[in-house]
């Protein structure tokens, strides 16, 4: 998307305040409820410069996705964010309303903000998702609206800043009110996942949002069975088959509490 269009949609800068926050990432154990929101300042077309300490990546990492749309991003982004406009749609028919913002790091090319927001709304609004149990309703709101959490599409280095905890540059995470989607996974999924990219994206959005809604990690309940969405599917399926939904057939599907914390695959990014 051209820079001008991005600015028209509003460019906002995120100020990080990760001290004291505890991450709930696939690569890390969930230790405790995280600290409050870390978004300190947002607004349209702020003139605050990006953090100076981040090295500039001269060569973006070309990545391809199934639709032959090239997604490119630096491994270390600027930390500047473009927040998408909100929507009047409310997913779900009953339960507590949770409002979320969507922000994309401005260095990411090949992901249209409006299209990305629509994909997120579709995933979070799917009746097989978190609204399927009648416990939650979900609505995407704009940058100036109050929100319960923010979904970030972040470069690997910004993922590490937003997530806190042990940096891995690989997984996605939830940290406080940050639901952080690593653009490297959005573009490439993971090796040998065994399902299309679109399904992996459904998984990563639903899994990290599940943390925000209070869910911890779960284990594969048996060989050949669907993986619970709260299983750490990015790092290994442990005999289960890919599944991105907590209500795949109208009934809640989960596994025993626990986590594997498998290592990050080597040679991948």
- CB-nearer residue toward Zn ion: 26 or 160: 26
The region of 19-27, 79-87, 176-184, 244-252 touching Zn ion under the rule CB under 5 A is 19-27
Rounded least distance, CB 54 to Zn ion, Å = 26
Task: Check residue 107 for interaction with Zn ion (CB under 5 A).
Answer: no
Contact 202, 181 (CB under 8 A): no
Cβ-closest position to Zn ion: 26
As measured in angstroms, the least distance from the Cβ of 210 to Zn ion is 8
Interacting span for Zn ion (CB under 5 A) from 26-34, 44-52, 55-63, 148-156: 26-34
Q: Determine the interface stretch with Zn ion among 22-30, 89-97, 105-113, 129-137 (rule: CB under 5 A).
A: 22-30
Residue numbers 42-81 binding Zn ion by CB under 5 A:
none
Size of the site for Zn ion (CB under 5 A): 1
Compute the least distance from the CB of residue 25 to Zn ion, in Å.
6
CA-CA distance, 59 to 72, in Å (whole number)? 10
Please, what is the minimum distance in Å from the beta carbon of residue 160 to Zn ion?
A: 16
Both tokens of residue 45?
């077309």
Q: Does 26 bind Zn ion (CB under 5 A)?
A: yes
Residues 132-171, one symbol each (x = binds Zn ion by CB under 5 A, - = not), give ----------------------------------------
Nearer to Zn ion, 26 or 107 (CB): 26
CA distance 182 to 162: 10
CA 209 – CA 189 distance, rounded (Å): 17
CB of 24 vs Zn ion, minimal distance in Å: 6
Q: Applying CB under 5 A, which part among 18-26, 50-58, 103-111, 182-190 lies near Zn ion?
A: 18-26
Segment interacting with Zn ion, rule: CB under 5 A, options 25-33, 61-69, 162-170, 245-253: 25-33
CB of 184 to Zn ion, least distance (A): 16
218 binds Zn ion (CB under 5 A): no
Q: What is the 3-state secondary structure (H, E, C) of the chain?
A: CCHHHHHHHCEEECCCCCCCCCEEECCCCCCCCCCCCCCCCCCCCCCCCCCCCCCCCCCCEEEECCCCCEEEECCCCCCEEEECCCCCCCECCCCEEEEEEEEEECCCECCCHHHHHHHHHHHHHCCCCHHHHCCEEEEECCCCCCCCEEEEEECHHHHHHHHCCCCCCCCCEEECCEEEEEHHHHHHCCCCCCCCHHHHHHHHHHHHHHHHCCCCCECCCCCCCECCCCCCCCCCCCCCECCCCCCCCCCCCCCCECCCCCCCCCCCC
Residues making contact with Zn ion (CB under 5 A): 26
């Amino acid at each position: 998307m051209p820079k001008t269009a991005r600015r028209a949609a509003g460019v906002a800068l995120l100020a990080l305040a990760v001290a004291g926050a505890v991450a709930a990432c696939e690569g890390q154990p969930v230790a405790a409820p995280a600290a409050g929101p870390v978004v300190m300042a947002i607004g349209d077309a702020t003139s605050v410069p990006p953090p100076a300490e981040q090295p500039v990546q001269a060569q973006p990492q070309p990545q391809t996705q199934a639709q032959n749309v090239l997604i490119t991003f630096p491994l270390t982004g600027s930390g500047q964010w473009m927040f998408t406009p909100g929507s009047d749609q409310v997913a779900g028919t009953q339960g507590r309303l949770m409002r979320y913002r969507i922000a994309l790091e401005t260095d990411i090319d090949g992901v249209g903000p409006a299209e990305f927001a629509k994909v997120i709304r579709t995933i979070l609004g799917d009746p097989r998702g978190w609204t399927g149990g009648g416990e939650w309703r979900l609505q995407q709101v704009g940058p100036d609206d109050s929100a319960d959490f923010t979904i970030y599409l972040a470069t690997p280095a910004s993922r590490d800043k937003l997530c806190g905890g042990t940096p891995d540059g690989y997984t996605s995470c939830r940290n406080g009110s940050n639901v952080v989607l690593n653009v490297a996974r959005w573009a490439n999924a993971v090796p040998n996942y065994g399902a299309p990219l679109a399904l992996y994206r459904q998984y990563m959005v639903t899994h990290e949002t599940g943390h925000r809604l209070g869910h911890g990690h779960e284990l594969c309940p048996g060989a050949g069975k669907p993986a619970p969405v709260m299983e750490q599917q990015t790092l290994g399926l442990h005999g289960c088959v890919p599944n991105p939904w907590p209500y795949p057939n109208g009934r809640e599907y989960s596994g025993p509490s626990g986590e594997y914390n498998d290592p990050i695959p080597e040679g991948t990014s």
